[in-house]
Amino acid sequence: MVKVIIMTLFILGWGIGSFSSAAVKTETVEYKEGNTVLEGFLAYDDTSTNIRPGVLIVHEWMGINDYTKRRAVMLAEMGYVAFAADIFGKGVRPTNTKEASEQAAKYKGDRPVLRARALAGLEQLKKYRLIDPKKIAAIGFCFGGTTVLELARAGADVAGVVSFHGGLDMPNPEDTKNIKAKVLICHGGDDPNVPAEQVADFQNQLRQAKVDWQFIAYGGAVHSFTNPDAGNDPSKGAAYNADADRRSWEAMRQFFSEIFR
């Protein structure tokens, strides 16, 4: 089942810079992973029939919400087909941090299922008729950053993955050798959720596996630095940082220019 909404959105500022208005078509897309029904969100500009790159987006621990959808629309305005994958399942949308923590822990504790859900989203993205299958990337925020790194460790055939303030823990570090994609990590330099030892171990695993990787740490930024809904108090461990938001999005733009050329 696909619900189609055609909208004209004006995204002004919001920590990313100004965008001119653009007609973006969005669809709520129902699909499956095994017997589990999932509900993703597709965004693209349908005024052109040109083949274009695709970008898979994986949500934060609150599931697909307005923040996720805004990012999808921003990518569509940049000329990509963007699809937000649903990891939790149709109708499973946490309403508070307790529920979100439980959902995130469920999948972080079962990496095979987490990978399967991400791969299902990737396959759904590939079904769109204007996608160039050789030019696909995956990006994720927080929980989603962890997920796209697992997608890469699963050996997914994508050109690149970008993690924004994602977790860097590796229950199966030996799977790093399966990574085919180029990797960009946009990290809060003061993120209390990711110990320095974990950062060092993560980078070392990438080196040993000879992965093409970049790691950018933003000084003063903590967890959730790209999300205005995170508030503005870094002492809480999660807070919006306009500079880190802008810089990391620009780093992603440059990364895409490289991997999609």
Return phi, psi of residue 186, to 5°. Answer: -110, 110
How much is the average pLDDT of 205-210? 98
Tell whether the model's pLDDT for residue 21 goes beyond 50: no
CATH number of residue 54's parent domain: 3.40.50.1820
pLDDT interval class at 131 (50, 70, 90): very high
CB of 123 closer than 8 Å to CB of 142: no
What are the tens digits of pLDDT across the range 171-187?
Answer: 999 999 999 999 999 99
Integer Cα distance of 187 and 203 in angstroms: 12
Integer Cα distance of 209 and 86 in angstroms: 29
The residue length of the chain stands at 261
What is 148-214 written as a DSSP string? HHHHHHTT---SEEEEES-----S-GGGGGG--SEEEEEEETT-TTS-HHHHHHHHHHHHHTT--EE
How much is the average pLDDT of 57-62? 98
Integer Cα distance of 43 and 6 in angstroms: 10
Q: Are strands 81-85 and 22-33 parallel, antiparallel or unpaired?
A: unpaired
Give the distance, in angstroms, between the CA of residue 26 and the centroid of all CA atoms in the same chain. Answer: 18
> Among residues 169, 186, 165, which one has the least CA distance to residue 239?
165
pLDDT interval class at 22 (50, 70, 90): low
| DSSP H or E stretch at residue 106 | helix 97-108
Give the residue numbers spanning the domain of 252: 2-259
Query: End-to-end alpha-carbon separation of the chain, Å?
Result: 34
CB of 154 closer than 8 Å to CB of 124: no
Q: What pLDDT was estimated at residue 48? A: 87
Say how many domains are in the chain. Answer: 1
Q: Is 38 helix (H, G, I), strand (E, B) or coil?
A: strand
What are the tokens at 44? 């693209």
Tell whether the model's pLDDT for residue 5 goes beyond 80: no
Lowest-confidence region among 9-13, 73-77, 213-217, 219-223:
9-13
Strands (E) across the chain are located at 2-9, 22-33, 36-44, 52-58, 81-85, 131-141, 160-164, 182-188, 213-218
